[in-house]
Amino acid sequence: MFDVVSSSKWPTGFLINPNAEPLDPKWLTEFSKIPAAAVSDCLGRNVGGLGLKPFHGTRPMLGSALTVRVRPGDNLMILKAMQMARPGDVLVIDGSADLTRAVFGGIMRAMALKAGIVGVVINGALRDLDEWQTGELPAYAIGGVHRGPSTDGGGEINVPISCAGMLVMPGDLMIGDGDGVVAASRSELPELLKRCHDLLAREQATLAAIEAGTLDPDRFDAILRAKGCPV
């Protein structure tokens, strides 16, 4: 094989960037009232993680993304990222959807809780599943497996990653609940919040119309007729 030569001070396959600026706490307060599905709708219904399952129960997750990309089945850079984490961070890990080895388990869960980490999202596998069911630390992953990781590297911290089909930038707002996980860029939070409030208001109006029996009975026929259907 050809040798791959690094052109920076970091060896090839390793990189650690500084943490992103903390999110303004007001966004955590505001988005704590908004379901992940509503955020997904307001971002166009084509974003968010696919295949991520909640292993902790139903507790919602909300925090700032601390991103990690690792070699499949290895957790060295995840351990380093936990040393860098601030209270309120969500570890978002791109493990290439590898399910042959768990890159996060019970000991790391205890470390994460001690560091004030508020969630873990893994494009890969975790283990010690019984411990996660206490619900203290939200954890989303593609799957679980008993086989443990290597701790050799490489990997990168605080870089743009793809996690279960979801683009995540360092410092993104991470929203998770029983429906799954969505990432939102901090630059779009003001407009996104307005759209979410509008959507939830419309949903409440629709539910009220259903309850009152006043929902327009022709609304779906009108859509079909616009497509040329003879209804």
41 is in an annotated binding site: no
Q: Quick one: pLDDT at residue 1?
A: 43
Helices (H), 10-75: 25-31, 36-42
Q: Quote the distance between the C-alpha of residue 106 and its chain's center.
A: 20
Which residues of the chain form CATH 3.50.30.40?
14-187
More confident residue, 7 or 195: 195
Find how far residue 68's CA is from the centre of its chain: 12
pLDDT grade for 215, boundaries at 50, 70 and 90: confident
pLDDT tops 60 at residue 5: no
Two structure tokens written together for 229? 């259907």
108 is in an annotated binding site: yes
| Mean pLDDT on 24-37 | 96
Determine the pLDDT at residue 205. Answer: 92
Please return the burial class of 202, using the count of CB atoms within 10 Å of its CB with bins 0-12, 13-18 and 19+: exposed
Residues 68-112: tens digit of each pLDDT: 999 999 999 999 999 999 999 999 999 999 999 999 999 999 999
For 11, residues 6+ apart whose C-beta sits below 8 A from its C-beta are 154
pLDDT at residue number 213: 87
**What's the pLDDT at 87?**
97
124 belongs to an annotated ligand binding site: no
pLDDT digit string, tens, across residues 128-152: 999 999 999 999 999 999 999 999 9
Q: Is 128 annotated as a binding residue?
A: yes
Which is it for strands 61-70 and 173-177: parallel, antiparallel or unpaired?
A: antiparallel
- Please confirm whether the linkage preceding 88 is cis (ω < 30° from 0): no
Q: What is the rounded average pLDDT for all residues in the chain? A: 94
Q: Please provide residue 53's backbone torsions phi and psi, each rounded to the nearest 5 degrees.
A: -115, 140
Q: Rounded to whole angstroms, how far apart are CA atoms 89 and 92?
A: 9
Is the distance from CB of 163 to CB of 92 less than 8 angstroms? yes
Do the Cβ atoms of 36 and 51 come closer than 8 Å?
A: no
- Tell me whether residue 195 is annotated as binding: no
- Is 107 within any annotated ligand binding site? yes
Q: What CATH code is assigned to 14-187? A: 3.50.30.40
Tally of CA atoms within 13 A in the half-sphere of 213 that contains its CB: 0
Q: Which of 161, 102, 94 is nearest to 122 (CA)?
A: 94
Calculate mean pLDDT across residues 212-230.
89
Read off the pTM. Answer: 0.92
Residue 173's pLDDT band, with cuts at 50, 70 and 90, is very high
